[in-house]
Chains A and B, each alone.
Chain A
Amino acid sequence: MMEATWLDLGPITQIEPGMAATLPVIGGDEIAVFHTMRGEFYALVNKCPHRQGPLSQGIVHGDSVTCPLHNWRISLKSGQVLGDDEGCVPTIPLKIDCGRIYLLRESVVGQKAA
């Protein structure tokens, strides 16, 4: 069942393209949900691999985000750090259905075990 596997975060209109919204997880890492200028959605752990900068507050361009603290560039698709720096941010499977955002429940709540 969809309800069990996927976590409904509500309508996509909550996030303007080029912006991100946050989803705190009690007992886990906060998640950032990004809406790119091109209209695509991605979810990542809201923590830069450099020094834990909140990626949700970075500038979104193409399908990457630039961390607000020291300008590392992170791919929203893969979570991979781009350019000369190295590292990776965990990504959370996300789908859009009938204009609503869904995250894979097990990836959201299972973070801690992983």
Chain B
Amino acid sequence: MNAPATFDSARPAREKLVVIGNGMAGCRAVEEILERDRERFDVVIFGAEPRVNYNRIMLSPVLAGEKTFDEIVLNTAEWYTENAIELIAGDPVDHIDRERKTVVSRSGRVEPYDKLLIATGSDPFIIPVPGRDLPGVVTFRDLDDVDKMLAAADLGGNAVVIGGGLLGLEAAHGLSLRGMNVTVIHLMPTLMERQLDEAAGWLLKQELERRGQTILTGADTEEIVGKDGHVDAVRLKDGREIPADIVVMAVGIRPATRLAKTGGLECERGILVDDHMVTSDPDVVAVGECVQHRGQCYGLVAPLWEMCRALADHLTERKLDGSGGYQGSVTSTKLKVSGIDVFSAGDFSGGGEGEDIVMRDAARGVYKRLVLKENRIVGAVLYGDTADGNWYFDLLRKEEDISDMREGLIFGQAFALGGGALADSNAAVAALSDDAEICGCNGVSKGKVVDTILAGACSLDAVRSQCKASASCGSCTGLVESLLALTLGDEVQAGASTMCKCTSFGHDDVRRLILEKELKAIPQVMQELHWTTPDGCASCRPALNYYLLCAWPGEYEDDQKSRFVNERLHANIQKDGTYSVVPRMWGGITNPRELRAIADVVEKFDARMVKVTGGQRLDIFGIRKEDLPAVWADLNAAGMVSGHAYGKSLRTVKTCVGSEWCRFGTQDSTGLGVKLEQMSWGSWMPHKFKMAVSGCPRNCAEATIKDFGVVCVDSGYELHIGGNGGIKVRATDLLCKVATEEEALETCAAFIQLYREDAHYLERTAPWLERKGLEWIKAQMFDGLDAVRQLAARFRHSQKFMQDDPWAKRAAGERRDLHSHLATVVPAGMEYA
């Protein structure tokens, strides 16, 4: 070194540095200090753990049996001796006395300091449920915790991990490799929701389940149940009980600030420090997870290294990297579960002003998403292929302008930097040989696609239907579009419109593929069909929710957040934000009890108006969302159920009085209307669906402007389809004539099911009929011998799961969150205003 000779001998005495916390940050800080000035301090380190410093993040591989403790030690006993550091292990500091400048340990040892370094890390957060103190409930923070888990694993049995974040999943992975039967309980619907988006979280869940773990998302722990003084099970709020021989609590961490707080240092979430890691006392510094810097607390190691450098620069007054102190860190995370590659960095809440680039490769189980803002990467989530994680992270941290390589960015470093030719996607495709495979799903080569185009397929749809390229998962859509452009230039025809801007597929394709590929969840459809957005938009989410509901009755769980407000709240939103409530009146018939209940509701909840609707029932206006469950409870009590006036579903069945009363009546139109309504209420449809039954051709119930209308005649029933009122009135077409009421009901069920299975979401029967043609509909229903019966049977099967009054469930307390406020704010002083 070319430093001038030191004046060590002239120094009266070395300063005394006391470190609290023999962990990753504490020891690293000491190393950085020694590197700058070996002579400045006498160092004493207190550690609560009875051992030397080790690499905490490697506890996961130790648990999984991939590493031993010796392999993860960072500072050996020799290191402490060689550097004349006194390690007081297994004796935590209990108290800081800043007045006297001493610390006091649990065993009573008093140690004076000139400079004090606090590096106490974090404490695991324990959720305050009954049973949390039972033997067998452990956290995952240090080696002792790992030893406890290993001891439990030796006995085998059931492990429950509470918390599906990074730590929880690593614990679950280790315990599962050690032979335990593992269940992960996660409060949120998405695993690792702080690092992953819905799409990546879903893929991760699938993979862990494939490996034999049970993953319960949206699961809230109510109690840890003990038996004979040891943990025995975990009970969830929904009543489920999961047997447990060990429970690992991994729900999060909290900066360990107790010492600092009782010592009178300023703390918020963590110990407050400035850019030189100095606390509110100039002689006390702090680093690691226990600090809060510029409002930020960290739970990862990367920021510690930077903090320790800034700290050492300050304490030794020597700047090795010449930085102006600690500036805060951008972090990235990786899940350490062997065989599963997950990477996440930055801010990828996406949408809004940010711009997403999404790439999905269902065959390889890959999902990649970059979030760009002003030509810079601001966030990244990678699942299944994380090779480029570090490169993206680097671009992100350096805020590099990526406009030059934008086209190829999502394909990774090799591709994006591969040069000019590749950056233009058309040029890249032109460069492919004729036998290069374009569509992996259906094995279609470039030559074949080009031939198909030359033979007259001028649109994406035509290529899909004629040679199957891009017809399965859609991941090669871009390539096929390039080939169309290269082959035809301007003559490419826009195909049938796609469902929305998130996908290259139209509604029909999506519906077909949901069945073919047995897709049963929204994130799964988005992954398998290569959605270009992370979680869809307000037009595709409700459509997918309906398609899945229709395809998998009884299996698919309705996704409330993909529903329009009216269907979410089972009432119609009005322009002032209040709701209207329409109870069902079967076939338009009511009675004094129902009328009284309605009248009572109107008065009790101050409804501003009651109106007789065009659908022959009563609409109560001006109900507030928080009153809805109570309104429904009152209506339920009088025997009324939801009228679905708010839904893409069966609305009303309008009837006339028919042969019961009318002198012209030919059949019991009222009775048939009631039966039709009872058969079909509650079913979700592509759009709203209205019916009517008139007792004779005078047609008082206006059956010929309904989606399904019945006109009774002497010899039976004329069944009409595809009518509606509204802006563009359309009269129905005659579908057929039947002799009996049973046949009328059966045909109606079949027609509804055909509409449910074929129409696009938000397409009413009238435009659907005009698009497909009356003849097509007749062919579907009457050409096959048994088609009507089969369609009707599918409808009835699906109805088994649908005819469950949503109002009754809500009135009984289901989804209370949707109807209540978080709180009400009354500003101070308002009371007197």
Contacts and interface: CB of A to CB of B under 8 A. Distances in A.
Interface of A: 2, 7, 9-10, 13-19, 21-28, 31, 33, 36-40, 51-54, 57-64, 66, 68-69, 71, 73, 75-78, 80, 82, 97-99, 101, 108-109
B337 to A, nearest CB: 20
A99 B252 contact: yes
A54 B193 CA distance: 26
B193 A17 contact: yes
Contacts of A71: 538
Interface range for B: 35 or more
Contacts of A15: 817, 822
A54 B577 contact: yes
A27 B827 contact: yes
B826 interface: yes
A31 B349 CA distance: 21
16 contacts: A7-B825, A10-B823, A14-B822, A18-B561, A24-B824, A26-B827, A37-B535, A39-B193, A54-B577, A57-B569, A59-B542, A62-B349, A63-B350, A77-B352, A80-B353, A98-B269
B825 A77 contact: no
B818 to A, nearest CB: 8
A57 B577 CA distance: 9
B833 interface: yes
Interface stretch (B100-108, B184-192, B694-702): B184-192
Given A17-B189, A23-B824, A76-B352, A69 B538 contact: no
B350 A38 contact: yes
Nearest to B831: A26
A94 to B, nearest CB: 12
B830 A14 contact: no
B541 A61 contact: yes
Nearest to B197: A38
A38 B573 contact: no
Contacts of B566: 68
Q: Is the interface of B mostly helix, strand, loop or mixed?
A: loop
Nearest to A68: B565
Given A23-B824, A75-B351, 4 more contacts: A37-B535, A39-B190, A64-B352, A80-B353
B188 A59 contact: no
Interface of B: 125, 187-190, 193-194, 197-198, 218, 220, 252, 254, 268-269, 348-354, 356, 533-538, 541-542, 560-566, 568-569, 573, 575-577, 817-818, 820-828, 830, 833
B254 A57 contact: no
A43 to B, nearest CB: 10
B535 A23 contact: no
Contacts of B569: 57
Contacts of B351: 61-64, 75
A72 to B, nearest CB: 10
Given A63-B352, A69-B573, A38 B825 contact: no
Contacts of B198: 17, 37-38
Instruction: List the 6 shortest-distance A-B pairs measured between CB atoms, nearest first.
Output: A62-B351, A18-B561, A66-B538, A39-B193, A57-B565, A109-B827
Nearest to B350: A62
Nearest to A110: B827
A10 B822 contact: yes
A108 B823 CA distance: 12
Nearest to A71: B538
A86 B89 CA distance: 63
B535 A62 contact: yes
A33 B825 CA distance: 14
A59 B535 CA distance: 11
Contacts of A52: 576-577
A16 B219 CA distance: 12
A2 B820 CA distance: 26
Contact of A13 (B220, B823, B828): B220
A73 B352 CA distance: 9
A57 B563 CA distance: 10
Contacts of A63: 349-352, 354
A68 B563 CA distance: 10
